[in-house]
């Protein structure tokens, strides 16, 4: 391509000019933008026309004679209204942070040296004794939750001829067999003499105490008994340790102190939390039974056991924790429903006369927040909101 066909920069339009519709063909005067002098020729006229065209908008809209001013509408809150009983997001974040720090402090070893307890002394009930764990937390004595187990006595299948080698002769063995046979033959006579002796003593007792005659006794009381067995006495009713509440025998619940928590590992903690879930569900099904009410001591035990749970859980362990959170949500619903019912009836909340306050909403929210925050189960908050959606709450 020859140099004659190239356009020079001087022949091109200036870069500072804005594009306008159409293509420039006629020459335009080169004047400043603020030129306000008289127009003497066509070049200056074209300059002013192009300058005014750049100042005008590219599109215009005609005024609508039927236009009505738009009234601003109030903004609608699209978010669902949160139940007043639910804790705020700020409280959840602060509580989860502090609970994680508390778990770290519990898991790490302490600087204090504790005197080791006697290994023969039992600190906790057995793993599978659910009822004994309830008595243990309620403060029952060790004789209730640590009952001695019955030892099984070995049975001798052949008392007269033991198996294996013998350290005696055949003559001594034959004499022992004869003595045993004689003793078996004398047993009916001995039992008859014993029963006759017992009947004579019974008649002598009736002669001394005419009020306690044999006619006043039941047939089971007059049956003959061996000489080694005492006469049956009047049966006494046994009172469970959990029913003792009067006098100096009032039970003091056991708190989850470090000495009791140290032997509890992850597996036992999960197992005990399953017991608490069962107890809460049983109370929700039978809320009229006052013996099954959970107190703040039970809530503190649940809170302490959650510190013994590992961070990484299998599906079964996670399901147990979720069931525990749902049971706490059901307990919250029970409390909120009772308060709203009493408020609608114009009756104040009844006070339960117990030595320990009952497990309330605050304790339940702390347990739910711990499970949601540490193990990432945020959908449990949505379950709690849906469960409390149709219940009104009285906020003081």
Q: In 3D, which of 237, 216, 359 has the Cα closest to residue 298? A: 359
Does 105 share its domain with 16? Answer: no
pLDDT of residue 298: 95
Size of the chain, expressed as the number of residues it contains:
396
Burial of 344 (0-12, 13-18, 19+ CB in 10 A): exposed
The DSSP call for residue 217 is: S
Q: In 3D, which of 394, 286, 285 has the Cα closest to residue 345? A: 394
Does 50 share its domain with 96? Answer: no
Q: In 3D, which of 166, 162, 122, 163 has the Cα closest to residue 144? A: 122
- Cβ–Cβ < 8 Å for 325, 372: yes
pLDDT of residue 396: 41
Q: Is residue 175 part of a domain?
A: no
Does 275 share its domain with 338? Answer: yes
pLDDT of residue 165: 52
pLDDT of residue 169: 52
The whole domain housing 325 covers 89-109+127-133+252-387
Distance from C-alpha of 167 to C-alpha of 290, rounded to nearest angstrom: 66
Can you name the residues that pair with 295 across neighbouring β-strands?
358
Q: What CATH number has the domain bearing residue 332?
A: 1.20.58.1070
Does 328 share its domain with 379? Answer: yes
pLDDT of residue 192: 46
* Number of domains composing the chain: 2
Q: Is residue 78 part of a domain?
A: no
pLDDT in tens, the chain (396 residues): 444 455 454 554 554 455 555 677 888 888 888 888 888 888 889 888 888 888 888 888 888 888 888 888 877 665 567 778 889 999 999 999 999 999 998 887 666 656 555 666 788 999 898 999 999 999 888 888 887 777 666 665 555 555 555 555 555 545 554 554 444 444 444 444 444 444 444 444 444 444 444 444 444 444 444 444 444 443 333 344 444 444 446 788 999 998 899 889 999 999 999 999 999 999 999 888 777 889 999 999 999 999 999 999 999 999 999 999 999 999 999 888 888 787 777 665 555 555 578 898 999 999 999 999 999 999 999 989 888 887 765 444
Distance from C-alpha of 232 to C-alpha of 43, rounded to nearest angstrom: 139
pLDDT of residue 134: 92
Chain Cα centroid distance, residue 327: 7
Does 97 share its domain with 46? Answer: no
């Amino acid at each position: 391509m020859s140099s004659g066909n190239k356009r020079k920069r001087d022949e091109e339009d200036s870069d500072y000019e804005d594009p306008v519709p159409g293509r420039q063909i006629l020459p335009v005067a080169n004047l400043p933008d603020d030129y306000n002098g008289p127009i003497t020729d066509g070049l200056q006229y074209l300059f002013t026309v192009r300058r005014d065209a750049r100042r005008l908008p590219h599109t215009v809209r005609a005024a609508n004679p039927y236009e009505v001013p738009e009234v601003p509408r109030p903004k609608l809150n699209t978010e669902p209204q949160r139940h007043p009983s639910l804790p705020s997001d700020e409280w959840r974040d602060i509580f989860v942070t502090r609970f994680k720090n508390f778990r770290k402090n519990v898991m790490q070893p302490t600087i204090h040296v504790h005197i080791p307890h006697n290994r023969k002394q039992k600190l906790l009930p057995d793993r599978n004794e659910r009822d004994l764990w309830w008595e243990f937390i309620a403060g029952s004595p060790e004789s209730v939750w640590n009952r001695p187990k019955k030892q099984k006595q070995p049975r001798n299948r052949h008392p007269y001829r033991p198996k294996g080698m013998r350290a005696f002769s055949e003559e001594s063995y034959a004499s022992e067999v004869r003595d045993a046979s004689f003793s078996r033959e004398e047993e009916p006579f001995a039992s008859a003499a014993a029963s006759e002796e017992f009947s004579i003593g019974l008649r002598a007792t009736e002669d001394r105490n005419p009020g306690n005659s044999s006619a006043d006794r039941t047939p089971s009381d007059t049956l003959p008994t061996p000489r080694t067995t005492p006469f049956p006495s009047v049966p006494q009713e046994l009172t469970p340790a959990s029913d003792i509440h009067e006098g100096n025998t009032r039970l003091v619940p056991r708190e989850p102190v470090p000495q009791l928590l140290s032997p509890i590992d992850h597996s036992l903690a999960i197992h005990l939390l399953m017991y608490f879930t069962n107890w809460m569900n049983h109370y929700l099904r039978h809320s009229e039974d006052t013996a099954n009410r959970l107190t703040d001591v039970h809530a503190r035990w649940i809170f302490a056991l959650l510190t013994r749970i590992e961070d990484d859980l299998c599906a079964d362990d996670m399901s147990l924790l979720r069931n525990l959170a749902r049971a706490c949500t059901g307990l919250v619903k029970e409390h909120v429903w009772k308060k709203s019912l009493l408020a609608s009836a114009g009756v104040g909340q009844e006070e339960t006369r117990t030595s320990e306050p009952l497990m309330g909403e605050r304790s339940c929210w702390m347990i739910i927040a711990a499970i949601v925050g540490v193990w990432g189960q945020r959908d449990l908050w949505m379950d709690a909101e849906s469960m409390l959606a149709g219940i009104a709450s009285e906020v003081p």
